[in-house]
Amino acid sequence: MLKEDLGVILSIAFGVFLFILFFEPFILEKFDRNNMLLFDAGFGVIVYLYIVLVRVGFHSFIQNFEQSNHEANLPYFFGGFIMIVLSSVTFAFYLRYVGSVNVSFFLMFKVIIICFVPPIILFLNDSRKELYQQNELLIQEKKILQKEVEKLEDDYLNKSIEFVSENKNDNLTLVIANTVYIKSADNYVEIAYKEDEEYKKKLIRTTLKNIELQIRPYPNFIRCHRSCIVNFHCIEKLDKNYGNHWITLTGFHEQIPVSRQYLLRVKESI
């Protein structure tokens, strides 16, 4: 974890150094320009050392403590609080005994504000990493679920369905995936299906209403027109021209009309 955070820690320490260098929140009179640069760099070093100390030592302590006492749940911000206290005290000693600056209440206020920034940045960075990890886990879970859904769909589409005629003589049994559409044709229904990579049609004596009752347990069949039912797995696209809609089926040249009554359901299905 420390190796992953090393770039962030260095950036925070360098940011503290640049802030103190350019904004000069502390009045220093005993240093020339070169010594001032070294003195300001000391603040960055202090921040860097305490972040490393807390990230390694304190977090290791929390992990060991939680392993020995599962009911304990030490707050994450306690490490930031320790970092603020140690950095503030060290900044004060550094300013007083190295920079010869008189420590006042206002100076300590500025010190504490500066020392607040590193823990906040670390907290935001850790939150970002945690959200990223959660997002990766969700993506992996989604892929697993998609594979399971695809497997279930394949199993479902490989089931057979029997279309029963009124005279019981010309019943037709088809695999669901190979059934393309069912269209009303006077006292018959026309069933288009795929067999040996070829599209075929067959008429059976029954009504579209009876067929609709037979296929009710199979949700992939949707009505697109008062005279036609399609298998939405076979739909390639939905076209529109001057207010008229029709369906283009995969590998099928015939256009299937879509009435406004069933248009919304067709759009939701594809």
127 and 175 share one domain: no
Pick the more confident residue, 153 or 98: 98
Give the chain's length: 270
Is residue 59's pLDDT more than 70?
A: no
Domain span holding position 231: 160-269
Residue range 53-57: mean pLDDT, rounded = 81
Which of the listed residues 151, 186, 218 is the one where a domain comes to its end?
A: 151
* Percent of the chain at pLDDT exceeding 70: 91
Look up residue 193 and give its two tokens: 């299906």
CATH number for 201: 2.40.50.1020
Q: What is the mean pLDDT of the chain?
A: 87
User: What are the Cα distances from residue 43, in Å, to 7, 35, 91, 115, 141?
Assistant: 18, 13, 7, 10, 45
Look up residue 75 and give its two tokens: 């707050």
21 and 111 share one domain: yes
3-state secondary structure 138-185: HHHHHHHHHHHHHHHHHHHHCCEEEECCCCCCCCEEEEHHHEEEEEEE
130 and 37 share one domain: yes
Indicate the range of 63-67, 72-76, 109-113, 171-175 predicted with least confidence.
72-76
56 and 188 share one domain: no
Which of the listed residues 151, 185, 220 is the one where a domain comes to its end?
A: 151
Is residue 191's pLDDT more than 90?
A: yes
pLDDT tens, residue by residue, 192-210:
998 887 888 999 999 999 9
Look up residue 236 and give its two tokens: 């390639």
Look up residue 19 and give its two tokens: 């802030």
Question: Distance between CA 206 and CA 186 in Å, rounded?
Answer: 9
Question: Distance between CA 223 and CA 225 in Å, rounded?
Answer: 6
Which of the listed residues 119, 151, 183 is the one where a domain comes to its end?
A: 151
pLDDT value at residue 47: 95
Answering whether pTM is above 0.85, one says no
Cβ neighbours around 153 below 10 Å, total: 13
User: What are the Cα distances from residue 70, in Å, to 61, 65, 79, 99?
Assistant: 14, 8, 19, 46
Element (H, E) at 200: strand 198-205
Question: Distance between CA 15 and CA 254 in Å, rounded?
Answer: 68
Q: How confident is the model at residue 113 (pLDDT cuts 50, 70, 90)?
A: very high
